[in-house]
Amino acid sequence: MRRRATNPILVLLLVSGTASAAAQVADSSVARPSAPFFNRKDALAGAGFAMGAFGLAFADQRLAHTFQDPSLQESVAVRRGADFFEFMGDPAAPIIGLALYGAGRFVLHDRRIAAVGLHGLEAMLLSAAVTGVIKGTAGRARPYVHADTLPFDFDFGRGLRGRDYASFPSGHTSTAFAMAASTTAELSRMADEEGWWPGWKWVISGVMYGGAGLVGVSRMYHDQHWASDVVAGAAIGTFSGIKTVSYSHRHPGNRADRWFLAVSVLPAADGAVTLAWALPGRP
């Protein structure tokens, strides 16, 4: 029983730890504007994720049985925790992104806070698009589909037929990691600009990536995903978040930022309010 109890913790450490490490390798947000969107360091980090997911696939069946162990499934505290973190992956993450954008743009009038929300939403949209394409193409059966778990049940294009065969990769996990990666990148920039205590970067990274990792663990607890699905989702989300922030700061005149970060709330003549923004012109 002791070995079984440590397995979920090991999965969490693997997912959040590899994502955080990959973020340090792949983050090229300070690169020159002419730097390529996808570079050699990104390829190395992506290869590391791919190897991790492939290697973990051979433990998928055992880990699936571990998470469905009655001692875990019958625990009220564990079940409530899993429900909470699954909610934080979706729909809470997009709601938080919208709230940050709205608060920063229309309430606090702080462009940096608005950017945290906007870039988080962009990263989540990118990760959802990539995840959706792979889900439909891979056609992997979810753990609950068979009486005995079959982790290597893939069929090209089968994921387009319904959610039962759209296991790989985990959408909740990719969404959570996209938000974690983009928020961490933005707050790290703010920490550098404001001269915060250097240790805050590690605190922010640990909290954000740790929480995202727990979202992935919750999906395994609910028998919706294999461990390798979670690692793949973490990879997609991490790269989506990092690259969204990197591109936005290397191209400050991009249309999305000019459209959505330039919106202002102005008083109208009759006492009401109106929205105004600067239209993006030609570069």
Q: Could you identify the residue written with the tokens 């959802």?
A: 128
Q: What is the pLDDT of residue 194?
A: 80
Q: What is the pLDDT of residue 31?
A: 47
State the pTM of this model: 0.83
Q: What is the pLDDT of residue 55?
A: 81
R_g over Cα of the chain: 20
Q: How many CB atoms lie within 10 A of CB 276?
A: 10
Supply 136's token pair. 């439909």
CATH number of 2-252: 1.20.144
Taking only the tens place, the pLDDT of each residue in 159-192 is 999 899 999 999 999 999 999 999 999 988 888 8
pLDDT tens digits, the chain, 283 residues: what are they? Answer: 344 444 555 555 555 555 555 555 445 444 455 556 667 777 777 777 788 788 888 899 999 999 999 999 999 999 999 999 999 999 999 999 999 999 999 899 898 999 999 999 999 999 999 999 999 999 999 999 987 778 899 999 999 998 999 999 999 999 999 999 999 999 888 888 887 777 788 888 889 999 999 999 999 999 999 999 999 999 999 999 999 999 998 888 888 888 888 755 545 555 554 555 444 444 3
- Residues 6+ positions from 147 with CB-CB distance below 8 Å: none
Q: How many CB atoms lie within 10 A of CB 282?
A: 3
Distance CA 227, CA 218 (A): 11
Q: Mind giving me the DSSP string for the chain?
A: -HHHHHHHHHHHHHHHHHHHHHHHHH--TTS-TTS-SS-HHHHHHHHHHHHHHHHHHTTHHHHHHHHT-HHHHT-HHHHHHHHHHHHIIIIIHHHHHHHHHHIIIIIS--HHHHHHHHHHHHHHHHHHHHHHHHHHHH-PPPTTSSSS--TT---TTGGGG-GGG--SS-HHHHHHHHHHHHHHHHHHHHHHHHT--TTHHHHHHHHHHHHHHHHHHHHHHTTS--HHHHHHHHHHHHHHHHHHHHHHHH-TT-HHHHHHSS-EEEE-TTS-EEEE-PPP---
Taking only the tens place, the pLDDT of each residue in 194-229 is 877 777 888 888 899 999 999 999 999 999 999 999
Closest CA to 18 of 263, 190, 225, 237: 237
Distance CA 60, CA 264 (A): 50
Q: How many CB atoms lie within 10 A of CB 207?
A: 13
